[in-house]
Structure 1
């Protein structure tokens, strides 16, 4: 009795059929999909191996669909087209094919033991991949952040360390063979870092790279802005002026002495104290973005930001926490088949801990955007 192929094997066979329809060898397809640095032929081979299939990253399936939306069989040196250069018929084919491939991938990932399950947004076929993390203000640094200290520890200079640690382990697990995977402070970023796959952790206040890149992303409708009534974080603002802000508890009665204005400023807790009373943060806002790197469209830019640090952590955990990761990846793949998106999410706090946003709960989604939304408007 002949058994139907598994979803992973079906995807492998579909990818092989797409390549053959273009009359390309694996080597030529690898070069076409990977740009100047290419994709390894072994990667293409593993994705087409129906007897032992390896799942491609979701962004590679987008490249397959984009490439195969056109007929390249007669071209001497076929290249991956830009989505905006497709005509109406090609765009329709791209959208349909991308949804088909993503659906096969999601079906394969639901099977136990499938290779690369859960990799999703954080899998990169080539490097460099650089995470640029916010730097803590000098006034808040530990003495161990001073290079003159015999026990100098570089990580004491980092802000958003919770988010970085959460992300870093996931990045290493999803990209075990990638050697050029690094994390840096904003002032350490070099040209190759900024034009590779770039991950920016933290908001514009403590991350100079985030602040500068926002000026290049004029088509991104959500901007992070400083407001006079919040001194320890920056809110998010939509084109119509709507602001997305954190939520606070009612003022708490406390028996301890209220700190002085200078002490509050030194501790950067101005937003906590109001009229001599303390309030508690109960909900932050997370901002998750995946778009082409504005400095090199052959690579990606991923932004994980928040009004405060809990929002940054929530943006990361939306796609690392096993409790919600698979559902959130499926949501993003279905909602944004083009692969580029921006989404604002609620991050509730319980016992001071940031909860991972579940995108299947409508209340958690504050705002969504993709280039295809604008094209359809």
Structure 2
């Protein structure tokens, strides 16, 4: 056997990928590894004046020499290498000031020290997530739904009482509580996925009327729009930095449209086709957003919303559907390395079924925003 022809191909665990035995097979890096690499690249490219990799390597070499090729490997979005924790300390020290060299922590001003601590905590958290993602679930492309701790509460809209079937009545001997829930398709899809990815964590679902202070202090996943989910309405108002709102309009009585704020504000509406038996929904709009939990900044809020139930399901399936979730996770990792974002997406409806948005296809992306970048309408 000639050397190198049938060598075992090993993908290093420290980038969150898996080891394989097939010759020549190289798996994509984990979304966590791409997220860290993208953050390091953004720090360098957004610096004023803009830094080259050579300039950054020279600055970081003040503590210990580092090669330009090493900087490049840490920033690679295709084969990222994991920087040592002490190097992230140097990154945070360098980028927390406007000075052109590394400054000892003891010489930082009060504002610089706060900036350093926040940036260092963020970078170490991203690095830890790479290890967590590599050790975690075998479900590929599940980093958004992988949580380090719990509890995780999915808050579901409650259908109007007038729409409850007989079995939603507690007096019925065959009472079934789930008949009170709206957006059940989205809940079933998401409930199973989150539990599979987080087998050791507590995952519960609640109606808005059942939510307690303990639920609000954990990780929250909010399903559905503002009409049937009071918590969704409250959170959308609480997130003042989020330039997307959901509003009722007189010409649509089946849901609430989305509206972007600012000078170039737009409305995002569903699309219909006329059929023999009336209008048919052919495209809904979905909102997928992740932000810090306003009640506990160490936890997150994820909003899976839509104008109609197909939009809600589409926002969920963007990160659960095996056909698209890995590509979509990679897109989020590359474009939103800080982890907070909002996306408005098209959700085509074919034969009554919602199709999962593929974020690599530009036409699916209607609007995107993150705290560190200006909003972008496609």
Superposition TM-score, scaled by structure 1 size: 0.68
SS at match of 1:241: coil
- Residue in 2 that maps onto 1:156: 179
- Residue in 2 that maps onto 1:86: 115
Cα distance in 2 for partners of 1:163, 1:125 equals 23
- Residue in 1 that maps onto 2:252: 230
Distance 1:287 1:83, change over 3 A: farther
Alignment of 1:106-121 (within 5 A): 115=138, 117-121=140-144
SS at match of 2:255: strand
Contact 2:259 2:266 in 1 (8 A): yes
Q: CA deviation at 1:241?
A: 3.2
Residues 8-37 of structure 1, C-alpha deviations (whole Å, 9 max, x = no match): 14569xx9xxxxxxxxxxxxxxxxxxxxxx
Cα distance in 1 for partners of 2:255, 2:186 equals 16
Distance 1:281 1:11, change over 3 A: closer
Runs of 4+ aligned structure 1 residues displaced above 6 Å come to 1-5, 64-67, 93-106
SS at match of 2:291: strand
Find 1:7's aligned residue among 9, 12, 15. 12
Contact 2:154 2:206 in 1 (8 A): yes
Contact 2:137 2:198 in 1 (8 A): no
Cα distance in 2 for partners of 1:103, 1:115 equals 14
SS at match of 1:304: strand
- Residue in 1 that maps onto 2:280: 280
Distance 1:101 1:5, change over 3 A: farther
Cα distance in 2 for partners of 1:323, 1:146 equals 39
Matched, 1:176 2:199: yes
Cα distance in 2 for partners of 1:310, 1:11 equals 33
Residues 134-163 of structure 1, C-alpha deviations (whole Å, 9 max, x = no match): 111111110100111111000000000000
- Residue in 2 that maps onto 1:328: 328
Q: CA deviation at 1:233?
A: 0.4
Contact 2:88 2:123 in 1 (8 A): no
- Where in structure 1 are there 5+ consecutive unaligned residues? 16-60, 76-81, 255-277
Contact 1:198 1:302 in 2 (8 A): yes
- Residue in 1 that maps onto 2:272: 248
Residues 71-123 of structure 1, C-alpha deviations (whole Å, 9 max, x = no match): 6xx99xxxxxx999526x986x89998999989999x79xxx98453321111
Cα distance in 2 for partners of 1:373, 1:120 equals 22
- Residue in 2 that maps onto 1:369: 369
Cα distance in 2 for partners of 1:343, 1:10 equals 27
Cα distance in 2 for partners of 1:198, 1:188 equals 14
Alignment of 1:333-348 (within 5 A): 333-348=333-348
Contact 2:142 2:325 in 1 (8 A): no
Superposition TM-score, scaled by structure 2 size: 0.68
Residues 161-204 of structure 1, C-alpha deviations (whole Å, 9 max, x = no match): 000000011011001111x2100001000001012100000000
SS at match of 1:225: strand
Cα distance in 1 for partners of 2:250, 2:168 equals 30
Cα distance in 1 for partners of 2:367, 2:346 equals 10
Aligned length: 289
Matched, 1:131 2:154: yes
- Residue in 2 that maps onto 1:294: 294
Distance 1:341 1:85, change over 3 A: farther
